[in-house]
Chain A
């Protein structure tokens, strides 16, 4: 079974530029998540989708971050304009739940450096 796919793996941009990340979840996983992981910390949830609807985006800095999952499968996360403090690893994850059994799987992440 293929895992969560993300691209690009690395991105370097200057502040005030725009950037977009792409994620393809595990086939059949209805829930998709975007996390931001700052060096030395655990992942912090940015946005959660259930199919193509947003379930939770309370931690998403909406003045500069946006995300969509138009057909309920792939998702893109965009930052416009980027700030220095946006330098982090952006992780996509998808989850599966059967009864009370829940498992969430992560992609390899996109490491963003803003200069």
Chain B
């Protein structure tokens, strides 16, 4: 099946630092979605990207849909403690007769440096 490679798997942040994570695939996607999941909760949609090259911001978050349609990155600027959590990328392929299938990356766990 399709594979989404998300990196890094985990990272420590210090408050105020910028954070970057990305997803790559061997397959082309029509849409990229970025989610954040807090413990005990479902993933929350942060940003949706629909066109190759598209750059979209949501507050301190910025995400881009790669030109090749096989990758996407998410940046968080000036991180704050509540940014801690697990971030997932998800790629969507549209199948006209069989519905839309979303494939998830393995997640990037953001933690605060002690």
Contacts and interface: CB of A to CB of B under 8 A. Distances in A.
B76 interface: no
A42 B40 contact: no
In the complex, which range does the number of interface residues on chain A fall in?
20 to 34
A78 B93 CA distance: 28
Q: What's the dominant secondary structure at chain B's contact region?
A: strand
Contacts of A45: 101-102
Interface residues of B, number: 27
Given A97-B100, A104-B33, A42 B41 contact: no
A102 B31 contact: yes
10 contacts: A6-B42, A33-B102, A42-B88, A44-B104, A102-B50, A102-B92, A104-B102, A105-B45, A108-B42, A109-B41
Interface of B: 4, 6, 30-31, 33, 35, 40-45, 48, 50, 88, 90, 92, 94, 98-102, 104-107
